[in-house]
Amino acid sequence: MESVKVDSNPNLSPKQPPIKQNDEVVSPWRDAYRNLKKNKLAIVGAGIILFFILIALLAPWMTSYSYDEVDLVNRLQAPSADHWFGTDDFGRDIFTRIIYGARISLWVGFFAVTGSLIVGTFLGVVAGYYGRWIDLTISRIFDIMLAFPSILLAIAIVAILGPSLRNALIAIAIVNIPVFGRLVRSKVLSLKEEEFIMAARAQGMKHGRIILHHVLPNSLAPIIVQATLGFGTAILEAAALGFLGMGAQPPNPEWGKMLSDSRAFIQSAPWTVLFPGFSIMLIVLGFNLIGDGLRDALDPKMKN
């Protein structure tokens, strides 16, 4: 007769692998963070954004010039050891204006996105959760706003309020409200039919508490992704308004306004256009890269 070997551990079965007792319970947010760290393009985008944040914070210590210091004797000077990015038609140091302009772009992006996110999220939650005529009214307002190209609607708002950086910020925030509103509304419409929401209602939980404790926390992922991508959009729209003379006013070193002022010198002094345009492209690229990385990390459908 053949001998049969019996495993010394009776808890193990040849058909069932051993269960690890020390497995770490990974939260969805920690899992998303780990996936984000593996995305090299997202890391590059985060590095670009961090770079612009640092130069914006350290601007007074990175240059000995003032961004509005006029020196007509040295106007339209090519890049050199004294002026790394050259000078503009008023003799102002372009490098100084670029690093101070980063402050304006980041400031506009942050406050415009924050304003549109708060209002859009509120309207989206109310429309999606309560439905009926409230949803119909808010959705039609969103449709009307989205029927206009965003930059044209922003121009119309600034034309009414008057050209200034503050009014440009308000206009950018307003035109982006429907983007957040429709995104949140669609998420809430799917969430409110989930069993845990129905269970909360059956227990007598008030609507406000359901929204704060169940609906909003489960809607954060798409909101975070859209907010990150919205930074780049807001900076582009602010540059467009500045280019048209409806955003930041002189002598503020806003990149779009710098491009507008340098149009006449594209051939004779191309550096006056190159550096502001490259700065806009680079910072928008950084937000787009990290936004795409966050989308891949937070969307379960994108995981293997």
How would you write the pLDDT of the chain (304 residues) with one tens digit per residue? 444 444 444 444 444 444 444 445 456 667 777 777 788 888 999 999 999 999 999 999 998 888 888 888 888 889 998 889 999 989 899 999 999 999 999 999 999 999 999 999 999 999 988 888 998 999 999 999 999 888 999 999 999 999 998 999 999 999 999 999 999 999 888 887 777 777 877 777 787 788 888 888 888 888 988 999 999 999 999 999 999 988 888 888 999 999 998 888 888 899 999 999 999 999 999 999 998 888 877 765 555 4
* Position 171, amino acid: A
- What is the DSSP secondary-structure string of 135-166? HHHHHHHHHHHHTS-HHHHHHHHHHHH-SSHH
Q: Report pLDDT for 171.
A: 94
What angle, 0 to 180 degrees and rounded to 10, lies between the N-to-C axes of helices 271-298 and 40-57?
130
- 78: which DSSP letter? P
Q: Report pLDDT for 28.
A: 66
Q: Report pLDDT for 106.
A: 92
Q: CA 5, 6, 8 angle in degrees (round to 5)?
A: 130
Residues 106, 54 contacting (CB under 8 angstroms): no
Rounded distance, CA 108 to CA 113, Å?
A: 8
Residues 128, 219 contacting (CB under 8 angstroms): no
User: For 71-106, b where at least 16 C-beta lie within 10 A, e where not — what string?
Assistant: eeebebbeeeeebebbbbebbbbbbbbbbbbbbbbb
Q: Report pLDDT for 40.
A: 87
Question: Which residues, including other chains, have CB under 8 Å from residue 216's CB and lie 6 or more apart?
Answer: 121, 125
Phi-psi region of 131 (alpha: psi -120 to 50; beta: other; left: phi over 0): left
Q: How is residue 67 written in tokens?
A: 């961004």
Q: Report pLDDT for 158.
A: 93
- CATH code reported for the domain at 52-302: 1.10.3720.10
Residues 95, 64 contacting (CB under 8 angstroms): no
Q: How is residue 199 written in tokens?
A: 């269970």
Residues 184, 224 contacting (CB under 8 angstroms): no
